[in-house]
């Protein structure tokens, strides 16, 4: 079953998310006044966030997307990622804001920053909706804008998924452990 029955608790309500996104948009609009930043989002998790954020920003912006995939036997620990969709825009000389749904270990964000920095943007910073610093392995990330600090629990909703489910929930919730255990069991 997918939906609220699988949610242990609602961590962030739709209203809390909307209010914080509006605050982040005001800060970005102020800080980038006179410049037209390129917002880069990673598919698929950050799509809801970047959509709402971009609509609330009051200065001219451009928007582009990348897609990556983890691979290897332990992608969460190895940090091994592969680019599967690159940018449509050239970013040399542009002010780039990488928009993430969640920063956890920092390994994926670090990979993306290295990839983007090699293309010589005028500036490069991060805006993340969720930050889980307790799991951070890579500490030196230029996180300029943070929505919420979150606990080390399995979160879904507002773009975050579990096996491609739950992204469309309007809130961010904690997935029940029983759901994780049930899908981890081998069939038969």
- Convert the pLDDT of each residue in 4-38 to its tens digit: 899 999 999 999 999 999 999 999 999 999 999 99
- Please check the confidence at residue 86 and state whether its pLDDT lies above 50: yes
| Domain count across the chain | 1
Residue 89 lies in a domain: yes
- Please check the confidence at residue 74 and state whether its pLDDT lies above 50: no
Residues 182, 121: Cα–Cα separation, whole Å: 45
pTM of the model as a whole: 0.89
Q: State which residues form the domain around 147.
A: 15-151
35 close to 97: Cβ distance less than 8 angstroms = no
Residue 39 lies in a domain: yes
| pLDDT for 131 | 96
Tokens representing residue 125 in the block: 């910073």
Place 187 in a pLDDT band, splitting at 50, 70 and 90. low
Q: Is 104 an active-site residue?
A: yes
Residue 111 lies in a domain: yes
| pLDDT for 138 | 82
Residue 180 lies in a domain: no
- Please check the confidence at residue 188 and state whether its pLDDT lies above 70: no
| pLDDT for 71 | 57
Residues 84, 27: Cα–Cα separation, whole Å: 31
Tokens representing residue 174 in the block: 């904690």
SS3 of 151-171: the string is CCCCEEECCECECCECCCCCC
- Please check the confidence at residue 55 and state whether its pLDDT lies above 90: yes
Kindly name the residue from 104, 131, 152, 161 that is annotated as catalytic: 104
Overall size of the chain counted in residues: 188
3-state DSSP: the chain helix, strand, coil percent, rounded to 5? 30, 30, 35
Residue 133 lies in a domain: yes
| pLDDT for 139 | 77
CATH number of the domain residue 48 falls in: 3.40.50.2020
């Amino acid at each position: 079953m997918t939906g609220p029955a699988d949610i242990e608790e609602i961590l962030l309500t739709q209203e809390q998310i909307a209010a914080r996104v509006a605050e982040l948009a005001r800060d970005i609009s102020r800080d980038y006044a006179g410049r037209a930043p390129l917002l880069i989002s990673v598919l698929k998790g950050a799509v809801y966030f970047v959509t709402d954020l971009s609509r609330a920003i009051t200065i001219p912006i451009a928007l582009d997307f990348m897609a990556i995939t983890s691979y290897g036997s332990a992608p969460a620990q190895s940090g091994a990622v592969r680019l599967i969709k690159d940018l449509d825009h050239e970013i040399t000389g542009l002010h780039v804001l990488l928009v993430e749904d969640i920063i956890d270990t920092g390994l994926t964000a670090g990979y993306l920053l290295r990839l983007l920095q090699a293309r010589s943007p005028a500036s490069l910073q991060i805006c993340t909706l969720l930050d889980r610093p307790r799991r951070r392995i890579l500490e030196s990330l230029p996180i300029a804008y943070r929505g919420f600090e979150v606990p080390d629990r399995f979160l879904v909703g507002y773009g975050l998924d579990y096996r491609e489910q739950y992204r469309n929930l309007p809130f961010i919730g904690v997935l029940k452990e029983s759901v994780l255990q049930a899908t981890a069991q081998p069939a038969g």
